[in-house]
Structures are given as structure tokens and as C-alpha cells.
Chains A and B, each alone.
Chain A
Amino acid sequence: MLHLVLFLIFGAICVAGAVNLLAQRHPINSALSLIVVMGSLAVEYLLLGAEFVAAVQVIIYAGAIMVLFVFVIMLLNAGEEELTNGSRVALLLGIPGMLVSSVLVAWVLLAHSGTEAVPAGALPGPPKIIGWLLFHDFLLPFEVTSVLILIAIMGAVVLASPPESVQQSKKEG
């Protein structure tokens, strides 16, 4: 019962943050509401017994990635977004279509919920077992991600460094 109450509270915070992300016009407000979403998702992970994933969620997502976002928003001095013309067909077809499909998906999922329930914390995800899996069953993907991160670092440095003409003018000046 307590688990259900906690799930509902943090699920509501989660959805409110996601809707706020869409509603806000200024990117910094959207970024802060995304941090709220990620924080409450970490609580949902804890309810599911995934301690490692919850910790990584807070450290990497709410910490590292969002700090990167906030830095870029400040660096580019992003203001409120300007409105441009939207498509009328998208409004006429999109909103009813979205409502119908979301009701359909929710109905299918809830109709088949029946007896199947996730016992909260039944499957503990301690870092020890996760680490064992990571270095035995998933060793190759783990090593491949290290290459991926190396490429991402190099790509980010190359893309974000100023163009050569700017660098040369700085050297001369």
C-alpha cells in the first residue's frame, strides 16, 4: 500500500515535470523541470529495487548531463523561444489522434494488468551483481561503449572548437 502511494506521488511529480517542460517558454525552466522528472524517476527506480540504477540516474542524468545542458543554455544566452507558424493540419488531426491512441494504449495495458504485479524491491539490484553481469555477460558491449565515449569526446572537442579563421585571427591579433 505504501509502495502504491509513493509510486502515485512521485509518478504525479514526474508527469507534472514533463508537462511543465513542454509548457515553459524559456529553456532554463525546461531544464530545471527535466531535473525534477529525473529525480522523481530515481525514486521510482528505488521502489523497483534498482538501487544501482537510481544512483546512476541521479549522478549521470540529473548531475552530469543536466549540468552540461544548463552550461550550454548559459553559454549561448538562450532567451525565450519565438513563436513561428504551426501547421493547422497537425492541430486538427494530431490532438484527436493523440487522445485516441493514448486512451487505447492505457486501456490495453490496464486491461491486462490483472494479477501481475511488480513486488516492490523484490529484485534487488545491488552494485555487486550489476558489476558482475557487466564484466562477465556484457563485457564486449562494455568495452565497445568505452570506444564510443572516446569518439564522443573527440567529436565534441572538434565540433565545439572555434573555426580555424577565428583561431588564426586570435594568434595574429
Chain B
Amino acid sequence: MVPLSYYLVLSGILFACGVTGFLIRRNIITIFMSIELMLNGVNLSFVAFAAHWHALSGQVFVFFVMVVAAAEAAVGLAIIIAVYRTRETLNVDRVNLLKL
């Protein structure tokens, strides 16, 4: 028997690590991975609440979150490739102009 709060604390730690990485890292790929980490943290709390309230809908929502994350990864990585092609850099501090 694991208390629900343990799962929530773990999910909170993962989400906080994701937010920290999003804010402190400079490499655009690592920033993107931090976003995936945040989504994983949220998924864990979804599954924990699903088990706690005996509602399987929570697990179906995790499925939808994963689908959206996959679509987001495909589009986001394509954008990263396009940015790299025009700027020749992955550092977000060097991508500071909207125009080419």
C-alpha cells in the first residue's frame, strides 16, 4: 500500500525538474525534453488518481496526453530542424529575431 500523496510528490518533483530545465537550459533540444518530462509528471498523477478514485477514464486521458505529446514532438523537432537550417545554432539565446 503506497499512499496517494507519495505518487503526487513524485509527480510534482518530475514536473518541477521539467520547469527548471525549461528555464535554465540553453539548448533547444534539451528544453524540448524538459517539456516531455513535465508531461510525464502529469501522466503519473493522472494514473495515481485513476487508481485512487477507481475511474479508468484517467488512464484513457493518459493515452490522449501521449498522443498529443507524440504529435507535439514530431512538429517541434521539425521546427528545430528548420531553425537550425536558417540559424546554424541550437542555442535559444542566439535565436532572438523573428525575421530571417
Contact = CB atoms under 8 A, between A and B. Distances in A.
Interface of A: 3-4, 7, 11, 14-15, 18-19, 21-22, 27, 30-31, 34, 37-38, 41, 44-45, 47-50, 52-53, 56-57, 60-61, 64-65, 68-69, 72-73, 75-76, 78, 81-84, 86, 90, 98, 102, 105-106, 109-110, 112-113, 116-120, 122-123, 125, 129-130, 133-134, 137-138, 141, 145, 148-149, 151-153, 155-160, 162-163
Contact of B93 (A60, A75, A84, A125): A84
Interface string B56-100: 110110111011111111110111111011000011010000000
Given A3-B2, A141-B64, A81 B70 contact: no
Contact of B59 (A64, A110, A125, A158): A125
A81 B20 contact: no
A22 B24 contact: yes
8 contacts: A14-B14, A15-B10, A18-B13, A19-B17, A72-B81, A109-B8, A133-B60, A138-B57
Given A27-B29, A69-B29, A22 B50 contact: no
A98 B23 CA distance: 13
Interface residues of B, number: 67
B66 A60 contact: yes
Given A18-B13, A53-B47, A123-B56, A148 B67 contact: yes
Interface in B12-64: 12-14, 16-18, 20-21, 23-27, 29-30, 32-34, 36-37, 40, 43-44, 47-48, 50-52, 54, 56-57, 59-60, 62-64
A65 B91 CA distance: 22
Q: Is the interface of B mostly helix, strand, loop or mixed?
A: helix
A160 B74 CA distance: 10
Contact of B62 (A38, A53, A98, A158): A53
Contact of B30 (A30, A48, A60, A149): A30
Contacts of A21: 17, 21, 30, 33-34, 37
Contact of B78 (A90, A149, A155): A155
A113 B48 CA distance: 13
B68 A145 contact: yes
Contacts of B4: 113, 116-118
Contacts of B48: 48, 118
A102 B16 contact: yes
A34 B66 CA distance: 15
Contacts of A7: 2, 6-7
